[in-house]
């Protein structure tokens, strides 16, 4: 492997911004802070203390000093199939085939100035283009007298098909930034669903970043550095990591299984069908404000499985719960995983072959309402209060209309789904995902520009 080309630049602009960030930090800590505020300022919600001079101002100053959008600090050995382009008509990480790992982060803005939000999104754009290309961010990474612009844990690693997907929550459109008139009419926090047991630490947020990659360290590195860049403008609200089977573990690329042992995502719409994606995922002319054309809406639910209870249930009960055979993933009574759900089929006694209250039957409905599911499993170790596993599903879906698609399906599921006795929803958030970014532009430009 070639040695990476490293270039350092020291500029008065960079140094002054670093000093300004340090002064801002001192002012923050001179104030009397609650324990919760202190934890949030130090990033204790998930990624730990993010030290160093990597704030929004410093990365923009470094960009200006370098005279270019982003300086590639590694050689082009990563070019090829391992890179998913950051720039395009739509954001990557939506219809992109799901990578092996997820790091999802929700942020709260600490500024009330729209100009500072714009600077943050510009800085995130510069960093995201570098991160997804497998290069270090910033232009100062080998000066012993300055904190490196990049934290370095992904140095030498391939891009691992890293994608970064950005969105804004309903709270982003409140009175702080004067954007209320641009909020899509039906874009609000999700309603309460039957059986919800939501915990505030897993809900909401002003902005989100979904980082996916075939290497967990690459995905973590992306979130860590974006959180570092946001310092002084936004703080982490919550983070959640996720995983699925890796490509090496399943070279055939079959449908991933969730932690209950069943295939998850069999009934997804065809992401290679442009007309289907325009119908199901992408917002277009007449669907809402013009700024979200080419974007979509993300719904996230953190679903904890009652694994110990599930593990004591019989195979026949498990299959009736899902409405599918566990081994093949096929609908009960069929052999092919992708066979159509025949909800009218009955056995000799007249009993439906696929239980009407099974998860598959209720999620399918009459087949007219679809959404694109892109979920990951999670494991957060043991719940110290109960001694049980804290593990389940990071359910993520993309759709052009949250109410008509996600909400309508989830209302059916929450009331009657057999699966409800084996799981509980502990987290919930929705975000409007911006359209894709053109080179020279920035994330959210159609909204803020």
pLDDT tens track for 271-324: 999 999 999 999 999 999 999 999 999 999 999 999 999 999 999 999 999 999
| Distance of alpha carbon 425 from alpha carbon 199, whole angstroms | 9
Number of domains into which the chain is organized: 2
For 269-273, which contacts have Cβ atoms below 8 Å and span 24 or more sequence positions? 269/370, 269/372, 271/95, 271/97, 271/372
* Pair 185, 210 in one domain: no
| Distance of alpha carbon 69 from alpha carbon 237, whole angstroms | 28
Residue 2 has pLDDT above 90, yes or no: no
| Distance of alpha carbon 276 from alpha carbon 293, whole angstroms | 16
* Pair 367, 399 in one domain: yes
* Pair 212, 292 in one domain: no
For residue 233, what are its two tokens?
């403008």
Sign of CA dihedral 311, 314, 320, 323: positive
Instruction: Choose among 405, 407, 380, 419: nearest CA to 199.
Output: 380
CB atoms within 10 A of CB 406: 22
* Pair 299, 436 in one domain: yes
* Pair 422, 364 in one domain: yes
Q: What is the pLDDT of residues 233-266, one digit of tens each?
A: 999 999 999 999 999 999 999 999 999 999 999 9
Sign of CA dihedral 179, 181, 183, 188: positive
* Pair 131, 143 in one domain: yes
Residue 67 lies in a domain: yes
What pLDDT is stored for residue 29 in this prediction?
33
Q: Which residue would you say has higher pLDDT here, 205 or 48? A: 205
The residue whose two tokens read 């055939």 is 252
Residue 102 lies in a domain: no
Residue 367 lies in a domain: yes
Q: How many helices (H) and strands (E) does the chain have?
A: 11, 9
| H-run or E-run covering 213 | strand 207-213
Angle between helices 56-66 and 114-133 (to 10 degrees): 60
Residues in the chain: 449
What pLDDT is stored for residue 240 in this prediction?
98
For 350-356, which contacts have Cβ atoms below 8 Å and span 24 or more sequence positions? 354/323, 355/320, 355/323, 355/418
CATH number where 348 lies: 3.30.70.1030
For residue 407, what are its two tokens?
């909400």
Residue 21 φ/ψ, nearest 5 degrees: -60, -40
* Pair 30, 145 in one domain: yes
10 pLDDT tier (thresholds 50, 70, 90): very low
Q: What is the pLDDT of residues 221-233, one digit of tens each?
A: 999 999 999 999 9
Q: What is the DSSP string of 51-75?
A: -SS--HHHHHHHHHHHTSS----S-
For residue 146, what are its two tokens?
């300055």
* Pair 197, 218 in one domain: no
Residue 431 lies in a domain: yes
* Pair 371, 386 in one domain: yes
* Pair 192, 272 in one domain: yes
Residue 420 lies in a domain: yes
Q: What's the rounded mean pLDDT across residues 138-157?
A: 95
Residue 120 lies in a domain: yes
What pLDDT is stored for residue 79 in this prediction?
52
Q: What is the DSSP string of 89-116?
A: SS-SSSSSPP-SEEEEEEEEE----HHH
Residue 237 lies in a domain: no
* Pair 355, 421 in one domain: yes
Supply angle C-alpha 368, 371, 377, rounded to 5: 140
Structural domain of residue 66, as residue ranges?
9-74+111-156+206-231
121 pLDDT tier (thresholds 50, 70, 90): very high
The SS3 of residue 246 is coil
* Pair 272, 135 in one domain: no
Residue 267 lies in a domain: yes
CB atoms within 10 A of CB 265: 16
DSSP class of 349: T
């Amino acid at each position: 492997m070639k040695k990476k080309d490293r270039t350092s630049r020291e500029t008065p602009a960079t140094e002054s911004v670093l000093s300004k960030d340090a002064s801002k930090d001192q002012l923050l800590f001179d104030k009397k802070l609650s324990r919760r505020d202190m934890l949030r300022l130090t990033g204790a919600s998930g990624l730990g203390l993010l030290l160093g001079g990597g704030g929004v101002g410093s990365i923009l100053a470094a960009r200006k000093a370098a005279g270019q959008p982003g300086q590639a600090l590694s050689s082009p050995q990563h070019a090829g199939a391992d890179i998913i382009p950051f720039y395009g008509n739509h954001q990557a990480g939506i219809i992109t085939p799901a990578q092996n790992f997820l790091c999802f982060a929700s942020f709260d803005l600490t500024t009330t100035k729209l100009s500072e939000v714009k600077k943050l999104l510009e800085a995130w754009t510069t960093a995201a283009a570098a991160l997804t290309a497998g290069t270090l961010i910033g232009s100062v990474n080998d000066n012993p007298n300055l904190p490196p612009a990049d934290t370095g844990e992904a140095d030498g690693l391939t891009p691992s098909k890293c994608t970064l997907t950005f969105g804004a929550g309903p709270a982003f459109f409140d009175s702080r930034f004067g954007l209320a008139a641009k909020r899509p009419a039906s874009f609000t926090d999700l309603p309460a669903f039957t059986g919800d047991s939501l915990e505030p630490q897993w809900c909401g947020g002003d902005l989100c970043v979904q980082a996916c990659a075939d290497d967990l360290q690459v995905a973590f590195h992306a979130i860590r550095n974006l959180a570092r860049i946001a310092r002084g403008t936004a703080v982490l609200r919550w983070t959640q990591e996720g995983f699925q089977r890796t490509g090496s573990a399943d070279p055939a690329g079959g449908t991933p299984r969730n932690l209950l042992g069943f295939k998850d995502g069999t009934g997804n719409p065809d992401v290679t069908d442009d007309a289907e994606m325009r119908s199901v995922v992408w917002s277009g002319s007449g669907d809402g404000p013009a700024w979200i054309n080419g974007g979509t809406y993300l719904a996230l639910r953190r679903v904890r499985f009652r694994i110990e209870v599930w593990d004591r249930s019989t195979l026949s009960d498990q299959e009736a719960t899902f409405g599918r055979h566990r081994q093949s993933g096929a609908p009960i009574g069929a052999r092919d995983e992708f066979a159509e759900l025949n909800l009218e089929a009955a056995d000799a006694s007249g009993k439906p072959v696929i239980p009407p209250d099974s998860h598959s039957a209720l999620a399918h409905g009459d087949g007219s309402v679809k959404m694109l599911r892109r979920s990951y499993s999670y494991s957060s170790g043991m719940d110290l209060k109960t001694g049980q596993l804290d593990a389940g599903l990071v359910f993520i879906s993309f759709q052009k209309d949250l109410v008509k698609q996600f909400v309508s399906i989830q209302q059916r599921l929450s009331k009657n789904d057999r699966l409800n006795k084996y799981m509980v929803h502990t987290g919930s958030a929705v975000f409007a995902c911006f359209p894709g970014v053109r080179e020279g532009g920035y994330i959210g430009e159609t909204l803020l520009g």
